[in-house]
Amino acid sequence: MKKDWNKTWNSSTQPRKQRKFRHNAPIHIRRKLMSSTLSKELRKKYGRRNFPVRVGDKVKVLRGQFKGKLTEIEKVDVRNYKIYLRDVQLKKQGGQIPIKYPVSPSNVQLITLNLDDKARIKRVEKK
């Protein structure tokens, strides 16, 4: 099996090929893979179901121990497909220092979008 990422690859039902595609994907493709669902209000407004996450977006956590928390995205880790949220952190057992807890973008829902960038506004209203 080839190790390089192939832009002409369409799809496969084999999980190993899905994992390989995500593992070898370049940054501009990874950004698109890191998208979250939009809230019902945003779906009606923009006419699309999901959108790539960005720092400054307000999100609601849907799964895990922080379920129901409304917070803001602080960091997007494209390499590991994780996002870090403002108030989602753990305390170490022996220390006072809180640790940022990585969350998958599929486990959050976008409530409001950060529309500081003109190019992002165009992309949102494209459909």
CATH code, domain carrying 94? 2.30.30.30
pLDDT of residue 72: 97
Classify residue 22: in a domain, yes or no. no
* 18 in a structural domain: no
Strand order in the sheet with 58-61: 50-52, 35-38, 108-112, 58-61, 70-77, 82-91, 98-103
Q: In terms of pTM, does the model score above 0.75?
A: yes
Q: How many domains does the chain have?
A: 1
Does residue 100 form part of some domain? yes
Residue 94's domain comprises 36-124
DSSP for residue 39: P
pLDDT tens for each residue of the chain, 127 residues long: 667 777 777 788 899 888 888 888 899 999 999 999 999 999 999 999 999 999 999 999 999 999 999 999 999 999 999 999 999 999 888 878 889 999 999 999 999 999 999 998 888 887 6
**Nearest-CA neighbor of 103 among 119, 95, 71?**
71
pLDDT of 124: 87
